[in-house]
Amino acid sequence: MRIYFTRLKCLLRDKGNLFWAIIFPICLGTFFYLGFGRLTMDSMIDTVDAYVASDYTLDILVKEMQEVKINNDKPLFNVDVSKSKDELEQLLLDNKIKGYIYIENDEIVYRVNSSGLEQTITKSFLDQYLQITTLIIKVNTTNPDKLLDVLTDLGNQQSYVKEILAGSNPKANRLNIYFYALIAMACMYGSFWGVGLVRDIEADNSPLAARVNITPTHKFKLIIMYFLAALTLHFFGNVVLVLYLKYLLQVEFSNNLALIILTSFVGTIGGITFGSFIAVLVTGSPEKKEGIVNVISLFLSFLSGLMVLEVKYFIDHNIPILGYINPASLLTDSLYSLYYYNSISRYFTRLAILAVLSIVFIIGTYIKMRGNRYDSV
């Protein structure tokens, strides 16, 4: 334990370490908060202008559209039924409106000249409207005695906006995803501690490491003690970050605080062991190793959707195996499991895979380091 405490002391006395482990993620969180933390999806969406052809309209649809609200006060649609289909077509061709709705052969047609948020919202509403009316007609035809139950259920779905935009977790704020991403990134930052671990143990990385190498201390013991010291400090930093986000910035983590901290713990282990494993595989100076680990971490983070969410969906659908061996992906997946799916089994599966990967990384690091003689020191 003496090695552990001395290592911890060294890490704590290095102001650079403290900045990157604790201060930097907090600064980033604060910037996120100042930038868009106060925003919510509700406040981001304005009332959408919707045009329905007066000569090809459906009263019930217009009525539904007029009643849909973003929140209690703000209507989702500003419905205009004063123009004919021909007039609206001309306005659409002149780019004066973004789209219009008309009914033809009992089908709702939505004509647009381009894609955009307003068009997406309108289309999503129409899709759902169609699903509901089809359902009512089907129940009325096949099982009329259940119609009242169905209508009651449907009546409980008060917000189309939340249905469309917020996924299956009705309490979640989509912008929280940035704070989850920040936590995931802070965990992946642990990879730099991993590089530091290798730098201070591999004899060809520093004179200090060469000196430590000729002592009778077993390399595995050194690796574990250095790892535990890095884990202690980095995990502490991550817990501070989570608590800062929750209690000072008031970021809503639902009831998942304990699970987020657990993710942070396993994620920190994953980050450190990943960094040490890559560092031990790459030959060259510690600076080179740090650079390569940085590039790989960023690439894996990109693949995991930390920067562009759609990339994650693409990987999940086309190369799913990559999602299971990418620590960043496993980390974001477990956090998203809490956010999107409220799925504990999915959450624990991802966390377990990450834990197994971490074990593989640390053992791999030891095997690569064990009994090493170097070409030059």
Partner 1 sequence: MITDKYFYHVVKGWVVEMIVKVENVSKTYKNGVKALQNLSFEVREGEIFGLLGPNGSGKTTTINCILALLKYEAGNIEIFGEQMTPERYDIKAQIGYVPQQVAVFNELTVEENIDYFCGLYVKDKTKRKALVDEAIDFVSLNDYRKFYPKKLSGGLLRRLNIACGIAHKPRLIILDEPTVAVDPQSRNKILEGIMKLNKQGATIIYTSHYMEEVEQICSYIVIMDKGQVVSHGTKEKLKAMITLGETIEITLPNRNEAYLELFRKLPNVLDCFYKDRILVVKSGKGQTNVPNVLQLMQEHNFNYENIYSSLPTLNDVFLEITGKELRD
Q: How far is the CB of 293 from partner 1 (least distance, A)?
A: 22
Q: Please enumerate in sequence order all residues whose Cβ is within 8 A of that of 302, keeping only pairs 6 or more positions apart, or say none.
A: 308, 311
Considering the rule CB under 8 A, would residue 70 count as an interface residue with partner 1? no
One-letter identity of residue 107 = E
Taking the C-alpha atoms of residue 22 and residue 343, their distance in angstroms, rounded to an integer, is 30
Considering the rule CB under 8 A, would residue 203 count as an interface residue with partner 1? yes
Considering the rule CB under 8 A, would residue 285 count as an interface residue with partner 1? no
Closer to partner 1 at the Cβ: 282 or 335? 282
**Which residues are registered as beta bridge partners of 69?**
75
Name residue, tokens 């994953």: 270
Taking the C-alpha atoms of residue 123 and residue 130, their distance in angstroms, rounded to an integer, is 10
**Contacts with partner 1 in 13-52 (CB under 8 A)?**
13-14
Considering the rule CB under 8 A, would residue 144 count as an interface residue with partner 1? no
Q: Of 210, 224, 262, 311, which lies in the binding site for partner 1, with binding defined by CB under 8 A?
A: 210
Name residue, tokens 């690796």: 223
Q: Is residue 194 within 8 Å of 274, Cβ to Cβ?
A: yes
Closer to partner 1 at the Cβ: 222 or 331? 222
Site string for partner 1, 342-371 (x = CB under 8 A): ----------------------------xx
Closer to partner 1 at the Cβ: 7 or 162? 7
Q: Please enumerate in sequence order all residues whose Cβ is within 8 A of that of 27, keeping only pairs 6 or more positions apart, or say none.
A: none
Taking the C-alpha atoms of residue 95 and residue 198, their distance in angstroms, rounded to an integer, is 61
Stretch that binds partner 1, among 11-19, 59-67, 234-242, 360-368 (CB under 8 A): 11-19
**Contacts with partner 1 in 214-233 (CB under 8 A)?**
214-218
Q: How far is the CB of 121 from partner 1 (least distance, A)?
A: 56
Alpha-helix residue ranges (DSSP H) falling in 145-200: 147-156, 160-165, 176-188, 190-199
Q: Is residue 313 within 8 Å of 305, Cβ to Cβ?
A: yes
Q: Of 213, 276, 334, 337, which lies in the binding site for partner 1, with binding defined by CB under 8 A?
A: 213
Residues engaged in binding partner 1 (CB under 8 A): 2-3, 6, 9-11, 13-14, 203, 206-208, 210-218, 370-377
